[in-house]
Amino acid sequence: MSEQVDQIALRRNKLAQLRQGGKPFPNDFRRDAYAGDLQNQYADTEFSENQVPIHVKVSGRLMTRRLMGKASFTHIQDSTGQIQLFLQKDQLGESIYDEFKNFDIGDILGAEGDLFRTRTGELSIRVKNIRLLTKALRPLPEKYHGLTDPEIRYRQRYLDLLMNDTTRSVFLTRAAIIQHIREFMISHRYLEVETPMMHPIPGGAVARPFITHHNTLNMDLYLRVAPELYLKKLVVGGFERVFEINRNFRNEGISTRHNPEFTMMEFYCAYADYHDFIDLTEELVKSLCQKVIGREQLNYQGQEIDFSGKFECYDMLQSILRFNPDISRKDLHDERAIRELANHLQIQVGSTDGIGKIQMEIFEKKVEQKLINPTFITGYPVEVSPLSRRNDKQPDISDRFEFFIAGREIANGFSELNDAEDQAERFQEQVNKKDAGDHEAMHFDADYICALEHGLPPTAGEGIGIDRLVMILTDSPSIRDVVLFPHLRHQQPPAE
């Protein structure tokens, strides 16, 4: 008889035998303890022969095993951690012990027995009974080096989560961050809402949308690029403080900082302005550092970032001059000079772009990446802020800020434009730009104008990029490390 060599085939044979024995996938085992909880609870406990034994039932995945004739050690892993099992032939009986020897790494099992400490001091369970609950047909990656291939880590994230502690920890931290943000907002009297993901007109941000189609209505719909306009309609409707944590979709490039779908929190507060939101953002980010991460100094990819003390805040044009002493204030305000400057800096400028847009481009290229410690930038041109309120003193500047950490834009907020007629004019400007060939310009959203005409109270609004914030707080170099299933190209079958 030829020897079985394929690990998967061997496991399938074992499953086939289980099927013959009936009930190959039982679901009647109930645990009463978790590995990690036991490790914490009994960290300092000594166990002696004459005390009443502590009996526990655990379940999880078989990760390692060391078979030594009539006794064996294995580790099983559940959602909280690992615990060692000690199995002896004379304790378990020959048939169960032989069954156990037939288990494979990766199998899911349930075990019960008494807690004890081995000679080397490791908390373990002296197993009295053990059962296979799910047969794993494929082997796990190697136990020592784990799984490092980034492609498999992303495509088969479950393997990454099983094998890599740091991956598990990043996503646990992500969940804790989002929970903390949600509680923070609720405690500030914000109402959590859900607004449409499918929009008849894409709006609320400058970005290329994904297009889909509704068959019954026979109409194209756009996956939302931002929830902004709907959230402000809710403020019109009297929900004076609202927030939404959810996905936005932008049909643009994929990189270490961009996934086509990404998570944003947007929130709006009536009778507040952008200064209030600068303060709120600082309070939120600081509380995340203190309560979730436990530190106010973080290292992000080798850079020290200091979240203690008052966050810096200054004006966009100031910041350009501050980081680029060779640029003069005069040049930034002169149409001909600034175009020349942009050209010199190898910035592509469109024919419809005004001074404000070019200033913004220069800022993005020459300043953004240098804003390492948490920094608010204000004074954005109205030209690049079609939904923001005009500044009372400088009508070409908007009441807007952006927030940066580690050279990355984390948040964007402003006092909302609640003048319906001004908003209609600005939409019209966007439409004119679109007609002139600017594909990024916004549509005219008459529905939104109608809502504004009913009266939007003076309101502040903001969006915070959750993925980028999580990247910084977990020291993750790529957005793919903080999104469970990042988008990758299809794996295509090999050519014929």
Partner RNA sequence: GGGGUGCUAGCUCAGUAGGUAGAGCAGCUGACUUUUAAUCAGCCGGUCACAGGUUCAAUUCCUGUGCACCCCA
Q: Binders of RNA: how many residues, by CB under 7 A?
A: 61
| Residues from 454 through 473 that contact RNA (CB under 7 A) | none
Instruction: Candidates 265, 480, 482, 483: give the one binding RNA (CB under 7 A).
Output: 480
Instruction: Candidates 64, 134, 287, 324: give the one binding RNA (CB under 7 A).
Output: 64
How many residues does the structure list for the chain? 496
What is the Cα–Cα distance from 116 to 49, expressed in whole angstroms?
9
Positive or negative: CA dihedral 57, 61, 62, 64: negative
| Residues from 149 through 168 that contact RNA (CB under 7 A) | 149-152, 154
Does 407 sit near RNA (CB under 7 A)? Answer: no
| Residues from 365 through 404 that contact RNA (CB under 7 A) | 365
Which range of residues in 4-12, 176-184, 242-250, 371-379 is near RNA by CB under 7 A?
4-12
Instruction: Candidates 12, 57, 89, 286: give the one binding RNA (CB under 7 A).
Output: 89
Which of 208, 252, 253, 248 is closest to 228 using CA atoms?
A: 248
What is the Cα–Cα distance from 69 to 88, expressed in whole angstroms?
9
Q: Rank residues 89 and 208 by Cβ distance to RNA and give the closer one.
A: 89
Does 4 sit near RNA (CB under 7 A)? Answer: yes
Q: 236-272: buried (b, 16+ CB within 10 Å) or exposed (e) per residue?
A: beeebbbbbbbebbbeeeeeebebbbbbbbbbbbbeb
Long-range Cβ contacts of 80-83 (<8 Å, 24+ apart): 80/34, 80/35, 80/36, 80/37, 81/34, 81/35, 81/36, 81/39, 82/35, 83/35, 83/38, 83/39, 83/58, 83/123, 83/124, 83/125
Give kind and range of the element (H or E) at residue 443.
Answer: none
Does 186 sit near RNA (CB under 7 A)? Answer: no
What is the Cα–Cα distance from 134 to 450, expressed in whole angstroms?
58
Q: Rank residues 189 and 439 by Cβ distance to RNA and give the closer one.
A: 439
Rg (CA), the chain: 29
Does 142 sit near RNA (CB under 7 A)? Answer: yes
Does 360 sit near RNA (CB under 7 A)? Answer: no
Give the per-residue contact string, 228-267, with RNA (x = CB under 7 A; - = no): -------------------------x-xx-----------
Which range of residues in 194-202, 304-312, 389-397, 481-489 is near RNA by CB under 7 A?
481-489
Does 44 sit near RNA (CB under 7 A)? Answer: no
Q: Can you give the binding site for RNA, defined by CB under 7 A?
A: 3-5, 7, 10, 64-71, 73, 75, 84, 86, 88-90, 104-105, 116, 118-122, 124, 138-139, 141-152, 154, 253, 255-256, 346, 348, 365, 477-478, 480, 486, 488-492, 494-495
